[in-house]
């Protein structure tokens, strides 16, 4: 079922993007040259705002709360869409089964009528067991036929209703995501970092510079269409795999009480681990073929100490899945084995699972608090580039709960195959 859902979600989010752009028109880069110009304008605006009054603490707190509410609404909509899709799938199966039954009944009535026909049907049995079965069917056939047609019609109506609900949820999801993009864009150049786990403005600028360089190295010119450049630089693939050879999910992408801070907030990724992760270097792989567009590694301040950053070492990989662009992010890495611009396959090791507070002491927030309780991989997924332009809102504005796209088993159930 999840394999079907993968195709479904790609279609859903592609349509959501179209709806979002329809509701609030946003000028986006059409060529590589346009992208460079947008980046230059944003950097100038950011430098200007650094010299002006920034958001007050209360303004920032309110903005964060609004963003968190929108993100929770988004993931709730994704859950509802997944549920509706499953219900439609089950109704479709029931309708197909009833169509087959009705077809059998129609065939029977086409070749016979009256009580003699029922007897002929019963005595046409191959053995005694078949005879008893056919006799019972004959007795119930008339009334059952009426009930079957009634159920069939009701299933069709139910399916139609669920489909309409699904279409409405798609619109609601698109509107929520548009609201999120707009809210983040409004404050992105006035706030260096929206939260401890998000990318700073400088990191987003660096990510955009990395992407431009990747497109240029792929042979793109300033006049070339940006979408064509992205497709040219990003290896094509058809499906997602799991990022660990063996593992279990320890936390979904959903609103929750943060185990570190105790705050009720949106958790944007799926957490996964396996036994002895604190002391064993488990390999992390990309969930699909792609290109490494950004890396957040440790920086050493003038004091010689590591600069604190929640998530520690991070790798971002851009994917082209059936013509649709995604970004996956891998957090809490103990080591990184790839470079920006490197083309990777599903079998390329991009890093090592980390996040053990006893050894990975750099994985802290700006207040010195550890951002993890143990070694694990935090996997995020988005249908945006790392830095999406249009105000340079974070790729998180397009976040997708990975559990609705990847074929994960239930929470705390181990898997032993990546696909």
Q: Does 47 have pLDDT greater than 70?
A: yes
What is the model's pTM? 0.77
Position 134 pLDDT exceeds 90 = no
Distances (CA, A) of 366 to 96, 315, 342: 57, 20, 31
Q: Tens of pLDDT along 174-214?
A: 899 888 888 877 777 777 677 767 777 788 888 889 999 99
Q: So what's the pLDDT on residue 98?
A: 81
pLDDT tens digits, one per residue of 280-325:
999 999 999 999 999 988 765 555 555 567 888 999 999 999 999 9
User: Which CB contacts under 8 angstroms, 24+ apart, belong to 194-203?
Assistant: 194/63, 194/64, 194/67, 194/394, 195/64, 196/310, 196/365, 196/366, 196/371, 197/268, 197/310, 197/311, 197/371, 198/394, 198/396, 199/296, 199/386, 199/387, 199/394, 199/395, 201/46, 201/392, 203/294, 203/296
Measured CA to CA, the distance from residue 67 to residue 198 in angstroms comes to 12
- Per-residue pLDDT tens for 17-46? 333 332 323 335 589 999 899 888 888 888
**Residue 10: its pLDDT value, please?**
42
Residues 406, 413: Cα–Cα separation, whole Å: 15
Between CA 150 and CA 63 the distance in angstroms is 53
Q: Is the pLDDT of residue 343 over 50?
A: yes
φ, ψ for residue 245, nearest 5 deg: -65, -40
Across 98-112, 141-155, 254-268, 340-354, least confident range: 98-112
Q: What is the mean pLDDT of the chain?
A: 81
Which of these ranges, 14-23, 33-42, 73-82, 262-271, has the smallest mean pLDDT? 14-23
Name beta bridge partners: 400: 381
Lowest mean pLDDT among 1-10, 120-129, 339-348, 349-358: 1-10
Distances (CA, A) of 151 to 11, 93, 94, 99: 30, 13, 10, 11
Helix (H) or strand (E) holding 399: strand 399-400
Sorted by where each starts, the structural domains of the chain and their CATH numbers stand as: 2-88+172-404 (2.70.70.10)
H or E element in which residue 400 lies: strand 399-400
- pLDDT tens for 210-242 read 999 999 999 999 999 988 999 999 999 999 999
**175-180 — which CB contacts under 8 Å span 24+ positions?**
175/19, 175/20, 175/23, 176/70, 176/73, 176/74, 176/77, 177/16, 177/20, 177/74, 177/397, 177/398, 178/19, 178/20, 178/23, 178/24, 179/70, 180/67, 180/70, 180/71, 180/74, 180/393, 180/397
Phi and psi at 49, nearest 5°, equal -70, -25
């Amino acid at each position: 079922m999840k394999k079907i859902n993968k195709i479904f979600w790609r279609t859903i989010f592609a349509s959501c993007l179209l709806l979002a752009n329809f509701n609030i028109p946003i000028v986006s880069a059409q060529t590589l040259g346009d992208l460079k110009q947008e980046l230059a304008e944003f950097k100038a605006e950011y430098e200007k705002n650094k010299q002006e009054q920034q958001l007050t603490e209360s303004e920032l707190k309110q903005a964060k709360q609004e963003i968190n509410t929108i993100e929770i609404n988004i993931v709730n909509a994704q859950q509802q869409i997944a549920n509706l899709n499953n219900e439609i799938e089950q109704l479709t199966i029931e309708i197909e089964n009833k169509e087959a039954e009705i077809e059998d009944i129609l065939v029977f009535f086409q070749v016979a009528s009256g009580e003699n026909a029922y007897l002929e049907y019963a005595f046409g049995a191959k053995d005694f067991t078949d005879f008893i079965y056919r006799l019972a069917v004959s007795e119930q056939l008339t009334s059952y036929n009426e009930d079957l047609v009634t159920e069939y019609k009701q299933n069709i109506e139910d399916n139609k209703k669920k489909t309409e609900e699904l279409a409405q949820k798609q619109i609601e999801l698109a509107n929520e995501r548009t609201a999120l993009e707009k809210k983040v864009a409004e404050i992105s150049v006035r706030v260096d970092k929206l939260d401890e786990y998000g990318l700073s403005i400088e990191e987003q600028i660096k990510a955009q510079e990395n992407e431009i360089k990747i497109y240029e190295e792929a042979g793109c010119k300033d006049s070339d269409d940006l979408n064509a450049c992205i497709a040219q630089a990003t290896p094509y693939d058809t499906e997602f795999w799991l990022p660990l050879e063996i593992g279990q999910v320890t936390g979904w992408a959903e609103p929750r009480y943060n185990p570190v801070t105790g705050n009720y907030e949106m958790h944007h990724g799926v957490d996964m681990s396996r036994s002895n992760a604190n002391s064993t270097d488990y390999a992390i792989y990309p969930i699909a073929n792609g290109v490494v567009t950004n890396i957040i590694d440790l920086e050493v301040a003038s004091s010689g100490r590591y600069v604190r950053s929640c998530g520690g070492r991070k790798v971002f990989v851009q994917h082209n899945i059936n013509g649709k662009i995604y970004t996956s992010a891998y957090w809490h890495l103990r080591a990184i084995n790839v470079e920006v611009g490197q083309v990777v396959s599903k079998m390329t090791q991009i890093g090592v699972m980390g996040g053990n507070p006893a050894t990975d002491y750099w994985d802290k927030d700006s207040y010195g608090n550890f951002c993890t309780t143990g070694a694990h991989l935090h996997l995020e997924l988005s249908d945006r580039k790392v830095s999406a332009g249009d105000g340079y809102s974070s790729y998180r504005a397009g976040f997708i709960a990975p559990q609705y796209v990847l074929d994960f088993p239930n929470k705390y159930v181990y898997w032993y195959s990546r696909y």
